[in-house]
Chain A
Amino acid sequence: MPRSPMPRDDGLPPGTLVMLILRVLASQPLHGYAIAQRIAQRSDNELSVEEGSLYPALQKLLLKGWVKAAPAVSETGRQVREYRITPSGRRQLDTERAEYARTARAIAAVLEQG
C-alpha cells in the first residue's frame, strides 16, 4: 500500500497545519497531545488535528529547524517531548500567516462580489 510521508490535512484547510502548530507553540512550549488539544480548544472544536497528521508534521518542523524538542514530563506524569519554537520558526510563522491572510482576503473578495 502506498504511504505518503507528507501530513494529511484531515479537517483542516490544505497547508495550514504547520502554521497552526507554529502558532500555538509561539505562545508556549507544548507536547504533542497538548498541541492537538490547544488547536481544538482555540477553534471551539471546529478543527481536530489527527495523530496521523500531527506527528509527521512535527518531524517536518524538527527537520526544518523551526522547532526544537526537549524531554519533558506531561501533566499526567508520562515521558513526552516538549516542542519549543525557534527564531527561524517564528519567521516561518510570520511568512505563513501573511501568506494565509493574503489568500483569505483574495478568496473573500471573490466570494463577496457575488
Chain B
Amino acid sequence: MDRVRELGRRLWYLLNRRRLEAALRAEMEAHRAEMPRPAWFGNTLRLREEASDVWGWRWLDDLARDARLSLRSLRRSPGFTVVATLILSLGIGVNLVFFQIAHVTLLQPPAVKDPQTLAAFHRQSRTFYSNGVPYPMAMFVRDHSAVLSAVLVSRDVTLAWGENGEHRVTGTFVSSNWFEELGAPAAAGRLFRTDTDANPTASPVVVLSHAFWQRHFGGRSDVVGRTIRINNRPVVIAGVVDRRFPSLQGETGEIWLPVEHAVFFQPGNPMLTNWAAHSMTMYGRLRAGVSMDAAKAGLQGTLTALASLEPKYVTAGEWLEPHPATDRFMDSRERQEVRTVLTAVSALALVVLLVACLNLSNLVFARATAQVRELSIRTALGAGRWRIVRLLLVESAVFAGAGALGAVLIAGAAVPLLRRVLDLPAAIETAPGWATMAAALAAAAIATVVVGLAPAWKIGRRDLTLAARDGGERATRTLHAARLRHWLIAGQVAGSCVLLVFAGQMAGSLQRLLAVDQDFGIDAIAVVEPSLTEFGITPQALLAYWDDLQARISGHPDVEHSALASSWIFSLGGSSTTYAVVDDVQFRTLAVGPGFFGTIRLPLLAGREFTRTDDGDSAVIISRRGALAMYGTVDVLGQGFPKGESAPVVVGIAADARLSSIRDADAVELYSPLQAEDANVMFVRVRNDATALLPHLRAAARTSDARVVADARLVRDDFDRSLAAPRRAAALAWATSVLALGLASIGLFGVVSYGAGLRLKEVGIRLALGAGRRSIVGLLVRPTFWTSAAGMLTGLAAGFPLGRALAGSPFYLDPLDAWAYGLATATFLGAGAVAALLPAWRLLRGNPLHALRHE
C-alpha cells in the first residue's frame, strides 16, 4: 500500500515537475541568501540535481536526452534515416498485411450477427456423411427442435438472367430468414422478410449483391422495385445487400432468391419435397444458453423422432454434426489445413521481418562504425559503456517506432490493392483494428531488439577511449571487418534464398497444375450442365433427354466428340472410396459415359472405353497408378475389381490424371460406367472456337426440352476457378520473396559500398602502384563473397525441409524441385552480383587517385 502511495507521489512529482523544481530553486536561493557567508553554500545546480534525483526520474531525463541526441544525429543523415525507416516499414508491413489477410480469411468468424451461436450442420452416421441436408429434413428440424431458435438453408445455383436469358449468374436460394438471422444491413431497398417472402404465393423478389449491383446497374438506387427476368421469369428487385456482407463458406452467389419460391424459377424442381437429395447447406441458430454439444444431443433426439416417421430416408442413430461459425464452419481436416497455411504464412512473414532487421542492423552498425570517433569523444567526456549502448538502442527504437508507423501506412495501402488484385473478400479492407496495431507494436519491439542489440553490443565492447587517439580510423576498420557483419549478411542472404526456393516450389506446384491444361487442351472442351431435375425432368425421362441433346449437338460441324459424366472435372475435391485390399489408397471416383476418354483426350494405356451395355456390375476402368497400387502391375485387363473379386472386371487402364482433384498430384482414379440418372454434365470437344459455340449449346439444351435453362461454359472456366487459390498463393510467395531479395541486395550493396568508401585511400595507392582493375574489384568484393555463398547454401538447404513440411495438402510442394533451386540460385546470383559489383564499379569509375591528392 505504501509503495502504491509512493508511486502516486512520484507520478505527481513528474506531472508538476517544472513548478516543484522552481520552488526548490527559490528555496535554495533563500537559504543561501540567509546564510552568514553565502559562499559556503555548495554548487546550487548540483545540489538541485541531487535533490531531484530522490524522485527517481533520472532515467527518463537520460532517455529523453538520448532520444533528442538520436533524432538530431538522424536529421544530419537524412538518406540513412529514410532508407532505414523504409526497410523496417517494409519488413513490418509484410507482417501486417499477412496478419490482416490471415485474420480475416482464416481466423475471424464471418462478420455476421452473433457468430458464437451459429453453426453449420452436416448429416452424419457411422457409415455415412454428407455436408448437404434434404430440405424437408431441415424444415422438420426447424419445426421440432428445442435447441435451435432458427434454421437457415442455402443452395447455390446457376441462373439465367436478362431479357432472353442470355447471361449466367451464380445465385443462392436461401430461406427467407437468411438476412434477418445473419443481421445483414441493406445498401438499398430491403432484404428478405420472413413475414412476406416466406409465403410461396407472394410475388417473388430478388436481392442483389453489392458487386452485382455495381457491375450491372452502376449502383443506381432506382433499381429497387424494377422487374428483371431470371430464368425467363419476372422478378422484382427488393434491394441490395451491404458491401461488407460476407459469404459464409466462400460461396460466390451474386443474387439471392427465397428458397420458398424455388419452384417459380425452376418449375418441377423437386428439391423442396425430396427426402433423398442432400440439396441444402443447413445452418442453425442455437437458443440462448445451449452449447454446441447440447445442440448435437438435442438434434439427435429430433432425428430419432424423424427416423420413425420417414424410415425410408432417415436411419435411426444418425446425427447432425455442428460446425461452429467461430471455427469458420470447418471440420477438423480443414482446420488442420488452415493451421498449416497459417504456420507457413507467419513463418514467411517473420523471415522477411528478420531479413529487414538484419539489414537495418547492418546499416546501423555501419553508421555506428563510422561514428566511432564521435562515440570515442563521448567516452572521453565521461560517458560509460552502458550510456553508449543505450544511445544506440534508443536510436533503434526511434527506427522501430517510425517503421511501425510506416508499416501501418503500407498495410493500409497494400491491403485494398491486394484485395483487388487477388480477389479477396471485402471484409479484409476494414481499417486496421487493435489486433493489427498490437501486431505492429510487437513487430516493432522485436525489430528494436534485433536491430539495436548487435551493433550496440559490438561497439560497446570496444575500448572507445583508445579510438580517440587516431581519430577512430583503426577502430572503424577493425569493426568493418568484424565477423558480426558477415553473420548479418549471411543471415539476410539465407533468409531471402529460402524464400526464393519456397516461391520456386510454389511456382513448380502451380506449374504442375497448369501442365494439366496442355495435356488436355481444355480451351477446346465445353461443358453443358442443364440441372435437369431442377427443371422437373423425371428420372424416367433423363435418358431420352440426354440422347436427344447429344444427337442435336453432334450435328453441329464444329463438334468433334461429346460424352456424359457424373460431375464436372478439375474440381478441388470430389468423392472417393477406399477398398479393404489396399485401405490406404483413396480411389477418386467418376462415372463416365461412352466416348468420355476420347472427348477429354485422356489416353487409355490399354483396353477400351465403356459402351452402352456396360454397367457398374460388369466393368470398371482404373488409372495406371490405381492398377499399380492394387495389383502391383498395369497388366490387369480382365481382372476382377477390387482385387480378388470376380466382377466387375477391369476393361481399361487410363493414363494418370487429376480430373477429380486437380491439386493432388498422386491421385488414384476409378472410372465407372455412367447410368443416365447419374448424368449431370456433357463434355463437348470442339474443333474451332469453343466460346462461340456456347450459345448454341445453351439453345440446344432448351430445344431438347423447353423447361430447361442450361449452363454452358468452357472447362477452362472450372479449371481457372479451381486454380484461383493456388495462383494467389504463388503470387504472394513471389512478391514476398522478391521483397526479401530486394532487401538482401540493398544490404549487400550497402556493405560493399561502405567498405569501398573506407578503402578509398588503399585502392588509390594500389592503382598508383599499377594494380589491375580486376584485382581491385576482387579486393572489394571478396570479403562478402564467401559470406554470401555460405548464406546462399544455408538458404537453399533450408528449402528442403520446408518443402517436405508442405508437401501435402494444400500446398503440394516438391521438396526436390530442381527448378526451384536453380531459379533461386540464378535469381540470387544475379541480384547479388549487381549489388556487390555496382559499388566497386562506381568506385573505379570515379578516379580513386583523386583521394590520394586530398591527403
- The reply to whether A78 and B28 contact each other, CB–CB distance below 8 Å, is no
In the complex the two chains form, is A65's CB within 8 Å of B53's CB? no
User: Given A51-B42, A78-B26, A56 and B34 touching (CB < 8 A)?
Assistant: no
Taking A65-B6, A65-B9 as contacts, is the C-beta distance between A56 and B53 under 8 angstroms? yes
B41 touching A76, Cβ below 8 Å: no
Report if B143 contacts A (CB, 8 A).
no
Cα distance A56–B24 in the bound complex, in angstroms: 11
Q: Is residue B222 contacting chain A, with contact meaning CB distance below 8 A?
A: no
| Contact of B49 with A by CB under 8 A | yes
Give B827-840 as 1s and 0s: 1 = Cβ < 8 Å from A's Cβ atoms. Answer: 00000000000000
Are B9 and A63 in contact, CB atoms less than 8 angstroms apart? yes
Interface residue B276 (Cβ < 8 Å from any Cβ of A): no
Residues of A within 8 A of B34 (CB): 33, 74, 76, 78
Q: How many Cβ-Cβ contacts under 8 Å join chain A to chain B?
A: 82
| A81 x B47 contact (CB < 8 A) | no
Say yes or no: B30 contacts A80, CB within 8 Å: yes
Contact B9 A79 (CB under 8 A): no
Interface string of A52-76 (1 = CB under 8 A from B): 1001101110111100010100101
- Contacts A3-B53, A65-B5, A78-B33 given; indicate if A50 touches B42 (C-beta within 8 A): yes
Contacts A63-B6, A80-B26: A5 and B53 contacting too (C-beta < 8 A)?
A: yes
User: By the criterion CB–CB under 8 Å, are B53 and A78 in contact?
Assistant: no
Please provide the chain A residues from 28 to 46 with a CB less than 8 Å away from any CB of chain B in the complex.
Answer: 31-33, 36
Q: Which of B9, B30, B51 contacts A33 (CB 8 A)?
A: B30
> Cβ of A5 and Cβ of B31 under 8 Å apart?
no
Bound CA–CA A106/B27 (angstroms): 39
Contact with B along A11-34 (1 / 0, CB 8 A): 000000000000000000001110
Does B24 contact A79, Cβ atoms closer than 8 Å? no
Complex CA gap A72/B47 in Å reads 21
A59 touches B33 (CB 8 A): no
Q: Are A31 and B27 in contact (CB under 8 A)?
A: yes
In the assembled complex, the CB of B483 is this many whole angstroms from the nearest CB of chain A, namely 35
Flag if A76 contacts B33 (CB, 8 Å): yes
Distance in angstroms between the alpha carbons of A74 and B27 in the assembled complex = 10
Cβ of A59 and Cβ of B51 under 8 Å apart? yes
Q: How far is the CA of A57 from the CA of B48 in the complex (A)?
A: 12
B29 cross-chain contacts in A, Cβ below 8 A: 78
Q: 8 Å CB contacts to A: which residues of B1-57?
A: 5-6, 9-10, 13, 23-24, 26-35, 41-42, 46-55
A-chain residues with CB within 8 Å of residue B9 when the two chains form the complex: 62-63, 65
Return A43 CB to nearest CB of chain B, in Å. Answer: 18
Complex Cα gap A69–B12 (Å): 14
Are B26 and A79 closer than 8 Å at their CB atoms?
A: yes
Q: Which of B35, B48, B50, B382 has the most CB of A within 10 A?
A: B50
Given A63-B9, A65-B9, A74-B34, A55 and B28 contact (CB-CB distance below 8 Å): yes
Minimum Cβ distance to chain A for residue B637 (Å): 96
Q: Bound complex: CA of A64 vs CA of B6, how far in Å?
A: 6
A35 to chain B, nearest CB (A): 10
| Contact yes or no, B54 A5, CB < 8 A | yes
- In the bound complex, residues from chain A placing their C-beta under 8 Å from that of B28 are 32, 51, 55
Of the candidates B13, B27, B35, B58, the one whose C-beta lies within 8 Å of that of A80 is: B27
Partner of B54, one of A33, A63, A74: A63
B40 to chain A, nearest CB (A): 9
Nearest Cβ on chain A to B30's Cβ, whole angstroms: 4
> Contact mask B54-65 → A, CB, 8 Å, 1/0?
110010000000
Q: Judging by beta carbons under 8 Å apart, are A55 and B47 in contact?
A: yes
| B24 near A55: Cβ-Cβ < 8 Å | yes
Q: Say whether A78 contacts B30, CB under 8 Å.
A: yes
Structural contact, A58 and B51, CB atoms closer than 8 A:
yes
- Taking CB as reference atom, which chain A residue is nearest B51? A55
Cα separation A44 to B48 with both chains bound (whole Å): 28
Looking across the interface, which residue of chain B has its beta carbon closest to that of A60? B54
Residue of A nearest to B58 (CB): A5
Chain A residues within 8 Å of B33, by CB: 76, 78
Quick check: B31 and A56 within 8 Å, CB to CB? no
Roughly how many angstroms separate A58 CA and B34 CA in the complex, as a whole number? Answer: 18
- Per CB-CB distance, the 9 closest pairs between chain A and chain B, nearest first, are A78-B30, A59-B54, A5-B53, A55-B51, A33-B31, A79-B26, A80-B30, A33-B34, A59-B51
| A positions within 8 Å CB-CB of B | 1, 3-5, 31-33, 36, 50-52, 55-56, 58-60, 62-65, 69, 71, 74, 76, 78-81
11 additional A-B pairs beyond A33-B30, A71-B23, beta carbons within 8 Å, are: A5-B53, A5-B54, A32-B27, A33-B34, A50-B42, A58-B51, A63-B9, A63-B54, A78-B30, A79-B23, A79-B30
Q: What are 10 A-B pairs at a CB distance below 8 A? A: A5-B53, A51-B32, A51-B47, A55-B48, A55-B50, A56-B54, A59-B55, A78-B29, A79-B26, A79-B27
